[in-house]
Amino acid sequence: MLANVPGSIRVARIFGIDINIHFSWIVIFFFLVTNLSESFYPDQFPQWSRQKTFVVSAVSALLFFASVVAHELAHSLVARRFQMTVSSINLVVAVFNLVPGFPLDGGRVLRAAIWGITNDRGQATRIAARGGQLFAGLVFAFGVAFVFGIVVPQSEVQGILYGFIGYFLWNAASSSLQQERLASVVGGAKVAPLMTTDFRSTPPGVMVGQVIRDLVLPMNLRAIPVVSGDRLIGLITIGDLRKVEQDRWAMTPVEQVMTPESELATVSPDDALGSALERFGVTDLPLLPVVKDGRLVGVLYREAVIGYVRMQEMVAPQGRR
């Protein structure tokens, strides 16, 4: 089952049927865990610790995948019992994935073809992304048709499923458009002109209470680099400080609750601004440390990048928007 699909590996064999996992399942697993741990469970059970929320979210995602495997295994066993072929399942998936619109593989093929013809990557990306949005709209409309029994037999479950698929495809295609728009706006800009060297930091060993009293409250700082000499060793944020009970502010050093340098997204002065935008896209931090040769030479504020992008959009030629 799925033995010939690129990117899949066999993890088990049950009743003579190969169980293969495609790499995309890993992406979906992390997506589920993130959404459950950051949104659903915290809203439903705010008293849970972050560790418990994460564990329960991971177990929930694993149980979801186990139910999918059990469901598909049942289909395969019944099909084998009655000597029915199931090869058409892979065929449908292949046809679906070749639809010419982002984020599907067919969209990437379409972009490559248009790029090769026009030598314009931006235009090729926009066309492929619009194709993805069109297909997503059709999938969503198909879901609505199922829910209300329009043309097709009524099935609320299938309708909701198609609706979710359409929603995620639309978001992915829209994200591609957004990335292309930002890339065209920032062009060849570098980090250096937008970074600031006038920033506040704190050395290790300073207590949380002192940081709150001297930096956070009077200066309204949301993230503060922790440095030893000129070496970045971490970053402490409002979220980190909130984890410390007030009666422990005077005895908890910042390095106990900071995010260590090894886990931080950083940039260098010579990095393209587009790279910084990508890093901001995967973190909610208000700034990125700017590091050169292991030394902290500045910080890049999210607000500075947003302001630059907006200004460029205002002065950019109409064709680049």
pLDDT tens by residue, 190-204: 999 999 999 999 999
CA neighbor of 279 nearest in space, from 191, 201, 171: 191
Respond yes or no on whether the N-terminal peptide bond of residue 204 is cis (omega within 30° of 0): no
Q: What integer pLDDT is reported at residue 271 of this predicted model?
A: 92
Element at 71 (helix H, strand E): helix 50-81
Residue 161's pLDDT is: 77
CA distance 49 to 225: 26
For the chain, give every domain's residue range: 8-94, 98-186, 192-315
The region, left, alpha or beta by phi > 0 then psi within -120 to 50, assigned to residue 250 is alpha
Q: How far apart are CA 250 and CA 212, in angstroms?
A: 11
pLDDT band at 84 (very low <50, low <70, confident <90, very high): low
What one-letter code names the amino acid at 298? G
In 3D space, the residue among 147, 150, 219, 140 whose CA is nearest the CA of residue 173 turns out to be: 140
**DSSP structural state of residue 202:** B
| 18 pLDDT more than 70 | no
For 12-43, b/e burial (b = at least 16 CB within 10 A) is eeeeeeeebbeeeeeeebeebbeebbeeebee
Highest mean pLDDT among 160-164, 181-185, 189-193, 261-265 belongs to 189-193
Q: Considering the entire predicted model, what is its pTM?
A: 0.55
2: CB partners within 8 A, 6+ apart? 8, 18, 20, 22, 90
- What's the rounded mean pLDDT across residues 118-134? 87
Torsion angle of C-alpha atoms 197, 201, 204, 210, degrees rounded to 10: 170
What's the CA dihedral at 208, 211, 213, 215 to 10 degrees? Answer: -160
Interval 233-258 mean pLDDT: 94
The CATH number for 192-315, chosen from 2.40.50.140, 3.10.580.10, 3.65.10.10, 3.90.1300.10, is: 3.10.580.10
Confidence check: pLDDT of 288 > 60: yes
**How far, in whole angstroms, is CA 60 from its chain's centroid?**
20
Look-up: residue for tokens 């609750």? 257
Structural element, H or E, at residue 164: helix 156-186
Q: Which pLDDT score, from 0 to 100, does residue 89 have?
A: 45
Query: Percent helix, strand and coil across the chain, each rounded to 5?
Result: 60, 15, 25
Reduce the DSSP state of residue 285 to 3 states and report it: coil
Q: Give 167's contacts (C-beta < 8 A, 6+ positions apart).
A: 136, 140
For tokens 């503060």, name the residue: 224
Write out pLDDT tens, residues 144-175.
Answer: 988 888 877 777 777 887 888 888 888 888 88
The pair of structure tokens assigned to 146 is 């199922």
Q: How far apart, in whole angstroms, are the C-alpha atoms of residue 151 and residue 200?
A: 63
Closest CA to 162 of 183, 141, 134: 141
Average pLDDT of the residues in 273-290:
85
Phi, psi of 203, rounded to the nearest 5 degrees: -80, 160
Averaged pLDDT for residues 249-277: 91
Assess contact for 52 and 36: CB atoms under 8 A.
no
In one letter, which amino acid is 5? V
For residue 202 the two structure tokens come to: 């704190």
